[in-house]
Amino acid sequence: MTHDSNCIFCKIVSGDIPAAVVYEDDRCLAFADLGQATKGHTLLIPKDHQENIYELEEDTAAYLFKMAPRIANAIKTEFEPEGMNLINNNGKAASQSVFHYHLHFIPRYGTNDGFQPSFEDNSAQYTSEDLQLIAKNINKHL
């Protein structure tokens, strides 16, 4: 298992830094985010150090997303949120602050719960033809 001695999440995995553990097995760790965006905000990480979605191994991704519904449903059962955001930031430009892949589970308790993700509506900027070209250009790299 690869670890980065400078990574705070690797230090949590190794037990050098304590965490409020929600779930743990030999491949992943889920724990309460220290900076609770809303009550129940939980992070899910691979125990192996993989920096972001671009480095994330496919089998690791498959395992994390296999566990994601279990984590989400546990949060839902305990706190009964109205909804939940699953968020992953990749790179500084996307507000990634810890460079170890992590998935945020942010329970939502209505529009005034203090968490405000923002997605601008850019639909007027792109025609149907633009979208087809964008899709084609991405697809050629798969």
> Which of 51, 11, 50 lies closest to 31, judged by CA?
11
In a domain, 69, yes or no: yes
Paired residues of 34 in beta bridges: none
Over the Cα atoms of the chain, what is R_g?
17
Give the pLDDT confidence of 21-72 residue by residue, as tens digits.
999 999 999 999 998 999 999 999 999 999 999 999 999 999 999 999 999 9
In a domain, 72, yes or no: yes
Task: List the domain range (segments joined by +) for residue 44.
Answer: 8-139
In the chain, the number of structural domains is: 1
Least-confidence region, from 59-63, 70-74, 77-81, 137-141: 137-141
To the question of pTM greater than 0.85 for the whole model, the response is: yes
In a domain, 3, yes or no: no
CATH of residue 75: 3.30.428.10
- Annotated active-site positions, please? 102
In a domain, 48, yes or no: yes
